[in-house]
Structure 1
Amino acid sequence: MSEITLPTYQAVESALKEQGLASAPAELHGLLSGMICGGLSVDDDSWVGPVCDYANEGEPLTDGAKVMVRTLFSTTANELFSGGFEFSLLMPDDDEPLTVRADALTEWVNSFISGLGLMDLQKNQLSEAVTEALADLQDIAQLGIDEDDDMEEQAALFEQVVEHVRMCVLSCHSELGQRPAVEEPEEKLTLH
């Protein structure tokens, strides 16, 4: 099985700026992840409209922007559908200040919740596990870093929160995400 890897945060950030899209990499990845986890078809371009609205002020995407977002969308979908527990949040590198990474996590989580919201889910029909995951994500979206506290301790807590976000995402996807189309093998003729 080939390893699925997202583009780097810096590569996506550069591409977004180059294409003139008004979205941070964490926001865009969170939005796409939320839509996929909420049941958006991964077999077509139904992601284009919401991305245009969200990241391009309703304007159509340029060809370059569409290619870049399609790459991010497909690698995210592939990672979610891989069947394992490997799901990466598109976040700044670990060598970035903790406050920068925490802000990106907040952007990612808020955008993930927005992406789920775009899928018109009926709150009263969600399972207890998904309802709990969403409540946790809403709480996480309010978290911040206190620069007066022990930064090493906060860095360790931050890593735990990122891991919990990953588990919440996987929980949402396992219950709400659409399964990709599976091609049925052709029936083989048998000679009698």
Structure 2
Amino acid sequence: MSELPVINDIVQASQSLGLGASPAELHGGLTGWLAGGGADLQAWPAKVLADDNMQTPEPGSALDRLRQATVAQLEDRDFAFELVLADASEPLQARTDALFEWCRAFLGGFGLASGKRPALSEEGEEALQDLARLAQASSDQFDSADEDEDALAEIEEFVRVAALLLHGDCVMGSRHRQSLN
């Protein structure tokens, strides 16, 4: 099982390539790209950020390890997929904003890879609609810290499962259909 690189390593690698995206945006876009059926490419930032002039991450770099770990986690049958958001020591608002950024980037990557009308299950359609609602949300909507911590944990879990469900619909389902033919 591949482990995700630590957030600070992702930040440094992103900055060294001149990427203007947060770790949450990079991981959300990468996950969306892969869940929508996008190819596992070393040059993934160019595809996910829709800029063919972007440099390719060096083999073994934090961004390359991010790709490898994300692919492995999405394929893992034990549902070990994790989200890269903000450091747990960050304030609640920063972590919430990172989750909403992740969702926006996921939708962008997913749309780039899957096209206009991906073949989704009813649950997949609902999950995609819910992710779209989260992508439009803002951390200003929270009131009480204790309730908000619990709500954030529940939303993170929902997003994690939604990403796995969409990956299952678009990638695993088509692989299964191909193996049946």
Q: Does 1:32 align with 2:41?
A: no
Name the aligned partner's letter for residue 50 of structure 1. Answer: K
**Deviating more after overlay: 100-109 vs 148-157:** 148-157
Name the aligned partner's letter for residue 4 of structure 1. Answer: S
Instruction: Choose 1 or 2 for highest CA Rg.
Output: 1
Q: Does 1:105 align with 2:119?
A: no
Give secondary structure in 2 for the equivalent of 1:125. Answer: coil
Partner Cα distance (2:130, 2:160) in 1 = 12
Name the aligned partner's letter for residue 77 of structure 2. Answer: G
Match of 1:166 among 145, 151, 160: 160
Residue 185 of structure 1 is matched in structure 2 by none
Match of 1:20 among 18, 21, 29: 18
Q: Does 1:144 align with 2:141?
A: no
TM-fit CA distance, 1:59: 2.0
CA distance change for structure 1 residues 175 and 28 in 2, over 3 Å: closer, same or farther?
Answer: same
Residue 50 of structure 1 is matched in structure 2 by 47
Partner Cα distance (1:111, 1:123) in 2 = 18
Aligned length: 174
Structure 2: unaligned runs, 5 residues or longer: 176-181
Partner Cα distance (1:95, 1:169) in 2 = 25
TM-fit CA distance, 1:149: 1.6
Match of 1:8 among 6, 9, 13: 6
**Deviating more after overlay: 156-165 vs 32-41:** 32-41
CA distance change for structure 1 residues 82 and 62 in 2, over 3 Å: closer, same or farther?
Answer: closer
Residue 178 of structure 2 is matched in structure 1 by none
Root-mean-square deviation (Å)? 2.5
Partner Cα distance (2:142, 2:46) in 1 = 43
CA distance change for structure 1 residues 85 and 66 in 2, over 3 Å: closer, same or farther?
Answer: closer
Structure 1: unaligned runs, 5 residues or longer: 182-192
> TM-score under structure 2 normalisation?
0.84
Residue 83 of structure 2 is matched in structure 1 by 89
Match of 1:72 among 46, 66, 70: 66
Q: More helix per residue: 1 or 2? A: 2
TM-fit CA distance, 1:98: 0.7
Partner Cα distance (1:48, 1:94) in 2 = 25
CA contact (8 A) 2:13 2:61 kept: no
Cα shift readout 1:118-167 (whole Å, capped 9, x = no counterpart): 01434373221110000110111122223872111111101100000011
> TM-score under structure 1 normalisation?
0.80
TM-fit CA distance, 1:67: 4.0
